[in-house]
Homo-oligomer: A and B are copies of this chain.
Amino acid sequence: MKLRTIGELRLLEEIRKRFNLSLPQKGGDVIVGIGDDAAVFSCPGDKILVTTDMMTEGVHFNLDYTSPYQLGFKLVSVNASDIYAMGGSPVFIFLNTAMMGDTDEEFFRDFFNGISSALSIYGLRLLGGDISSVLKEMSFSATIVGAVERFVTRAGAKPGDKIYITGTLGDSSCGLEILKRLIRADKEIIKRHDFLEKDFPGNTKTRLKVIVNSEHKELDFRLAEPLIKRHLMPVVQHPGHFADKATSMIDVSDGLFIDLIRVCDDSNVGAKIYLSKIPISNQVREIARILGLDPFRLAISGGEDYELLFTLPPEIKGIKIDKDTPSGFIDTLNSGSRAVTCIGEITPNERIVIDSDGSASTLKGEGYQHFDFLQ
């Protein structure tokens, strides 16, 4: 059935029944949930965090290779990422959805299935929003309210601080490059894939077919899957112990360099980055080679990795970092352990990148900018 046949009121009623059930959430008591003019809740702490982000069709997502489930999931994740990047915990979420009148109800429900999966992972509760229509291009936004005790801004980095990044970079943009090149049949397979369930379709699917410069090539599904997942359904994490010690923090959403420069600008400092230390997964190296892409370019300007970039004073007690290698493993609140890599240090003014041959160049804000991509 098409959404225009169901109508806004019945859709709202369905969402209200589904999500006004008590879901796990970490703070704040709900007094009025979905369905009134506004939600009412008690403060989840002394200090409140609020962030909002939108996703528009053709710019943030492409329905040729993205399912509504994946889309709903990602919408929650990208907003949760901003709360984590402040050292906070997401508590409540509000959604705005604009779909077309001829959108199928299955699309609508799958979208909210994806939302629902993400809410469970982040312990979030849906408290309201707007179900609207649009003529041609879908548009979604979410607002998350979070709680925080010690928050970390972009503005506290000091000269001498070490610069760390969680996980690996370039995975998401490499995943996107795979998706763009997939043959249609494999795009359809990916759209049916719930990346949270490990068994499908890995146990039957072993290769993905892509077209690179008009040539058909094959990718090992086990290599490609984590990269595609990072792009379509990123799962973001609380910074854990780092939130107590970090002098500055940002999530890498637009690209490592552009986001690092935001930290430098707001902290009024510079940075020296060692290109060779930037963590790049073996999957990205291998697949970039097949696709004819530069893995470093993906890592420094690809964006959407939603890893955390943070700075720590050079001597920190209580956090174990293996100083002999650029990376170490540190306990986090949620996830047991997590890789972090030191990629450079904060300087008083100069902003430079040291290449693997030791040569220095200026750190420039390469990464995704809205509008810029149209130039």
A residues contacting B by CB (< 8 A) are 2-9, 11, 31-32, 35-43, 46-54, 56-60, 81-83, 85-86, 88, 92, 94-96, 98, 101-102, 127-137, 139, 141, 143-146, 148, 151, 153-155, 249-251, 258, 266, 365, 369-375
Contacts and interface: CB of A to CB of B under 8 A. Distances in A.
Chain copies in complex? 2
A61 to B, nearest CB: 12
A9 B42 contact: no
A47 B40 contact: yes
16 contacts: A31-B151, A35-B154, A36-B86, A36-B153, A39-B49, A40-B148, A41-B48, A52-B95, A52-B129, A57-B135, A58-B134, A94-B143, A96-B141, A101-B371, A102-B374, A133-B374
A37 B80 CA distance: 10
Contacts of A11: 371
A3 B59 CA distance: 15
B134 A371 contact: no
Given A37-B85, A50-B94, 15 more contacts: A4-B371, A7-B370, A8-B372, A11-B371, A39-B49, A39-B50, A40-B49, A53-B96, A54-B139, A56-B134, A56-B135, A58-B135, A59-B134, A98-B139, A136-B137
Contacts of A151: 31-32, 40
B129 A38 contact: no
Contacts of A48: 40-43, 48, 145
Contacts of A132: 54, 56, 59-60, 370
Nearest to A90: B38
Contacts of A7: 369-372
Contacts of A31: 47, 151
A374 B8 CA distance: 12
A295 to B, nearest CB: 25
B51 A39 contact: yes
A168 B258 CA distance: 52
Contacts of A92: 50
A130 B3 contact: no
